[in-house]
Structure 1
Amino acid sequence: MELQITATDPEHPATLLDLPWDVPLEEWPDRHLVALPRGISRHVVRFARAGGEVFAVKEVGEYAAVREYGLLRDLDRLAVPAVDPVAVVTGRQAPRGEPLEPVLITRQLKGSMPYRSMFETTMRPGTINRLLDALAVLLVRLHLSGFAWGDCSLSNTLFRRDAGAYAAYLVDAETGQIQPRLTHGQRDYDLDVARVNIVGELMDLEAGGALHPSIDPIPMGRDICDRYGALWHELTRTSVYPRGKRHHMDRRIRRLNDLGFDVAEMQIQRSPDGDAVTFVPKVVDAGHHQRQLLRLTGLDAEENQARSLLNDLETWMATQEDHTPGDPLGASPEVLAHRWVRDVFRPAVRLVPRDLRDAMDTAQVYHELLEHRLLMSERQHHDVSVAEAAADYVRGISR
Structure 2
Amino acid sequence: MALQISATNPEHPALLLALPWQLPLEQWPDEYLVPLPRGISRHVVRYARAGDEVVAVKELAERPALREYELLRDLDRLAIPAVDPLAVVTGRTDGEGDPLESVLITRHLRGSQPYRSMFETTMRPATMHRLMDALAVLLVRLHLAGFAWGDCSLSNTLFRRDAGAYAAYLVDAETGDLHSQLSSGQREYDLDLARVNISGELLDLEASGALHPSVDPIEFGMEICARYQGLWEELTRTSVYPAGKYHFIERRIRRLNELGFDVAEMQIQHSSNGDTVTFVPKVVDAGHHQRQLLRLTGLDTEENQARRLLSDLESWMATQDDYAPGDPLAARPEVLAHRWVRDVFRPTVREVPPELRGSMDAAEIYHELLEHRWYLSERAQHDIGLDTAVEDFIKNVLPKARETLVPVTPE
Which TM class, normalised by the smaller chain length? Answer: over 0.9
Task: List alignment gaps of at least 5 residues for structure 1.
Answer: none
Residue equivalent to 1:11: 11
The answer for the alignment partner of 1:394 in structure 2 is 394
1:171 correspondence with 2:146 = no
CA contact (8 A) 1:72 1:84 kept: yes
Q: Secondary structure at the match of 1:121?
A: coil
What's the offset of the Cα at 1:6?
1.4
2:118 counterpart of 1:93: no
Letter in 2 for 1:246: Y
Aligned partner of 1:246 in structure 2 is: 246
Instruction: Give 1:174's aligned amino acid.
Output: E
- Partner Cα distance (1:13, 1:345) in 2: 52
- Written as runs of structure 1 = structure 2, the 5 A alignment for 1:318-333 is 318-333=318-333
SS at match of 2:309: helix
Q: Once the 2 structures are TM-superposed, how far is the Cα of residue 351 of structure 1 from its aligned partner? A: 2.0
Structure 1 segment 14-163 matched on structure 2, within 5 A: 14-163=14-163
Deviates more, 1:376-385 or 1:300-309: 376-385
Bigger mean CA offset, 329-338 vs 224-233: 329-338
2:210 is matched with 210
Alignment-derived partner of residue 348 in structure 2 = 348
CA distance in 2, matches of 1:364, 1:313: 15
**CA–CA separation in structure 1 for the residues paired with 2:214 and 2:257:** 25
Question: What is the CA distance between 1:111 and its match in structure 2?
Answer: 0.9
Shift of 1:265: 0.6
SS at match of 1:391: helix
Matches within 5 A, 1:274-353: 274-353=274-353
Q: Which residue of 1 aligns with 2:406?
A: none
- Give the Å deviation of 1:235: 0.6
Aligned equivalent of 1:373: 373
In the superposition, the TM-score normalised over structure 2's length comes to 0.95
Query: Which region of structure 1 is more displaced relative to structure 2, 181-190 or 384-393?
Result: 384-393
* SS of 1:340 mapped into structure 2: helix
2: CA distance, partners of 1:185 / 1:104 = 30
Further displaced range: 357-366 or 106-115: 357-366
> What is aligned with 2:362?
362
Structure 1 residue 16, shift from structure 2 partner? 0.9
Question: What is the DSSP-based 3-state SS (H/G/I as helix, E as strand, rest coil) of the residue aligned with 2:64?
Answer: helix
Q: Quote the Cα distance in structure 1 between the aligned partners of 2:12 and 2:344.
A: 50
Please say if 1:223 is aligned against 2:230.
Answer: no
For the residues of structure 2 that align with 1:252 and 1:268, how far apart are their CA atoms?
13
Query: 2 CA distance for matches of 1:387 and 1:13?
Result: 60
Distance 2:324 2:62 in 1: 42
What is the CA-CA distance between 1:371 and the residue it aligns to? 0.8
Match of 2:408 in 1: none
Aligned-residue CA RMSD (Å): 1.1
Query: How far did residue 219 of structure 1 move?
Result: 1.0
Distance 1:145 1:131 in 2: 21
CA distance in 1, matches of 2:321, 2:359: 37
Is 1:237 the counterpart of 2:237? The answer is yes
Deviation string 1:286-317 (CA, Å, 9 cap, x unpaired) is 10000011111111111111000000000011
AA of the residue aligned to 1:144: L
Once structures 1 and 2 are overlaid, which stretch shifts more, 350-359 or 362-371? 350-359
Amino acid at match of 1:331: A
Instruction: Check the 8 A contact 1:351/1:387 in 2, yes or no.
Output: no
Give per-residue Cα distances to partners, 1:123-157, cap 9 Å, x unaligned: 11111111110100000010011100000000000
- For the residue of structure 2 that corresponds to 1:300, the secondary structure is coil
Report the AA paired with residue 18 of structure 1: A
C-alpha separation between the residues in 2 aligned to 1:8 and 1:374? 49
Moved more, 118-127 or 387-396: 387-396
Q: Unaligned regions of 5+ residues in structure 2, if any?
A: 401-411
Instruction: State the identity %.
Output: 74
Bigger Cα displacement from structure 2, 30-39 vs 339-348: 339-348
Report the Cα distance in structure 2 between the residues aligned to 1:204 and 1:355, rounded to whole angstroms.
Answer: 63
Q: Contact 1:71–1:173 at 8 Å: present in 2 too?
A: yes
State the alpha-carbon separation in 2 of the partners of residues 71 and 122 from structure 1: 35
Distance 2:391 2:359 in 1: 18
Provide the C-alpha distance between the structure 2 equivalents of 1:350 and 1:7, rounded to a whole number of angstroms: 57
- Please say if residues 245 and 381 of structure 1, whose CA atoms lie closer than 8 Å, have aligned partners that are also in contact: no
Match in the other structure for 1:2: 2
Amino acid at match of 1:127: T
Number of residues paired by the alignment? 399
Q: Which SS does the other structure have where 2:348 is aligned?
A: helix
Shift of 1:212: 1.2
What is the deviation of 1:185? Answer: 0.3
CA distance in 2, matches of 1:214, 1:281: 28
Give 1:378 shift: 2.1
Question: Secondary structure at the residue paired with 1:263?
Answer: strand
User: Cα deviation per residue 1:66-99 (whole Å; 9 max; x = unaligned)?
Assistant: 1111111111111111111111111111111222
SS of the aligned residue for 2:47 comes to: strand
Taking the aligned partners of 2:82 and 2:310, their CA distance within structure 1 comes to 28
Preserved contact between residue 57 and residue 104 of structure 1 (Cα < 8 Å): yes
Q: Which amino acid aligns with 1:258?
A: E
Matched with 2:264 is 264
- Conserved in 2, the CA contact under 8 Å of 1:268 and 1:319? yes
Query: Which segment drifts farther, 355-364 or 268-277?
Result: 355-364
Deviations along 1:14-57, one digit per CA (max 9) or x if unpaired, are: 21111111111101001100000100001110001112211100
What SS class does the counterpart of residue 264 from structure 1 fall into? strand
Q: Please say which of residues 189-198 and 67-76 is displaced more in the overlay.
A: 67-76
Deviation at 1:382, TM superposition (A): 2.5
Distance 2:294 2:76 in 1: 32
Deviation at 1:121, TM superposition (A): 0.5
